[in-house]
Amino acid sequence: MLTIDFLINTISLGSLYAMLALGLVIVYGILKLVNFAYGELLMIAGYALYVLGGLNTSLPWFVIAILAVLIAAAVSYLTEMIAFRPVREKSLTAMLITSFAVSTLLQNAALLIISPRARAVPLPAIFSQSVAIAGTDIPIRNILSIITAVVLFGALSLLLKYTVLGIALRAAADDFRMTRLLGVPANLVISAAFIISGFFAGVVAIFWTGRTASVTPTIGAAPLLVAFVACVIGGMTNLLGAVVGGYLYGIIYSLLSLWLPQYLLDYREAFMFLIVILILLFRPIGLIRGNTTSERIG
């Protein structure tokens, strides 16, 4: 029953979810803010694909996709600078509400400027092609998303481990006040976190819109929820937790799709959340514990 195509499709789904969760948690780790405008970054990348694809430029799709990702990262940075920075020192609640405002604002902007209806995004030929692996056809798109995730996780790990900015990002997630006392500018780490967050949202958006080849103003709602739940399962306090949570979400979801009888398939989400509740009952802080600051005596 667990065929190779099921396996690859599951890991592919998990890879997308893991990237989503990571993008959400990297901001949460530092600001303790669940950025509810996160889903809209995927929407922005989707519309960037649509607009750039419609311009009839001779740019190859690959370049357009990279531009779309960069635009999502840039918009993420702009939301931080324009919306979050002014309220940052007020309170966490103020930031949370701001994130709802940004979300609504971006969605309505898309409704107003573009259209409430779905718009087609350009897709490269390989997104609809398959390769035969061990006798079964595997969509190339799924293999690509796995490779992308592995490459990006690797790159991010290197950044976090070996660059001063990366060390500062981890330090800020650990103790933001102390990090600033060491001379690390708050704006630097927060901006970096938002840019990385937007980057991951943009990358996922390429694959997410690739499934239906279209983008709508409300496309961000589902991925936001997935990212949030994945973070909750894995643990909000560290990046590894988010990645594990993302893959776990993908695996559980795939297994439910496989095992649930036909007439219950529509309730897949309900079962999903039931499992999440069970996980939280036994591991309220998520599966991966954050860094505990316990101290030896001596």
Q: Which is nearer to other proteins, 52 or 168 (CB)?
A: 168
How many residues interact with other proteins (rule CB under 8 A)?
26
CA-CA distance, 152 to 154, in Å (whole number)?
Answer: 5
Task: Restricting to residues 27-86, name those near other proteins by CB under 8 A.
Answer: none
Does an H or E element contain 94, and which? helix 92-113
Which range, of 62-70, 124-132, 161-169, 279-287, touches other proteins by CB under 8 A? 161-169
| Shortest distance in whole angstroms from residue 241 CB to other proteins | 13
CB-nearer residue toward other proteins: 216 or 238: 238
Q: Does 1 bind other proteins (CB under 8 A)?
A: no
Amino acid at 93: T
Cβ-based burial of 259 (10 A; exposed 0-12, middle 13-18, buried ≥19): exposed
Measured CA to CA, the distance from residue 13 to residue 290 in angstroms comes to: 25
**CA atoms of 237 and 16, how far apart (whole Å):** 20
Single residue of 171, 225, 251, 255 touching other proteins by CB under 8 A: 171
| Of 18-26, 63-71, 165-173, 225-233: span binding other proteins (CB under 8 A) | 165-173
Q: Does 285 bind other proteins (CB under 8 A)?
A: no
Which region, judged by CB under 8 A, interacts with other proteins, from 5-13, 133-141, 222-230, 289-297?
Answer: 289-297
The least CB distance from residue 108 to other proteins, in Å, is 34
Strand 119-120 with 136-139, pairing: unpaired
Q: DSSP letter at 125?
A: G
Tokens of 206: 């390429």
122 or 166, CB closer to other proteins? 166
Binder of other proteins out of 159, 167, 255, 287 (CB under 8 A)? 167
Q: Using the rule CB under 8 A, is 292 a contact of other proteins?
A: yes
Dihedral sign, CA of 38, 212, 276, 283?
Answer: negative
Would you count residue 293 as binding other proteins (CB under 8 A)? yes
Among 135, 183, 261, 284, binds other proteins (CB under 8 A): 183
C-alpha span between 256 and 54 (Å, rounded): 38
Of the residues 32, 170, 268, 283, which one makes contact with other proteins according to CB under 8 A: 170
Q: What is the DSSP string of 239-287?
A: HHHHHHHHHHHHHHHHHHHHHS-GGGGGGHHHHHHHHHHHHHHH-TT-S
Q: Is 145 in the site for other proteins (CB under 8 A)?
A: no
Contact between 26 and 197 under an 8 Å Cβ cutoff? The reply is yes
Asked whether position 298 contacts other proteins by CB under 8 A, the answer is yes
> Pick from 177, 263, 266, 277: which binds other proteins (CB under 8 A)?
177
* Part of the chain binding other proteins (CB under 8 A), chosen from 120-128, 179-187, 196-204, 222-230: 179-187
Out of 133, 151, 178, 278, point to the residue binding other proteins (CB under 8 A): 178
Q: Which is nearer to other proteins, 7 or 92 (CB)?
A: 92
Q: Are 170 and 43 in contact (CB under 8 A)?
A: no
Sign of CA dihedral 235, 236, 241, 244: positive
Residues that bind other proteins (CB under 8 A): 164, 167-168, 170-171, 173-175, 177-186, 291-298
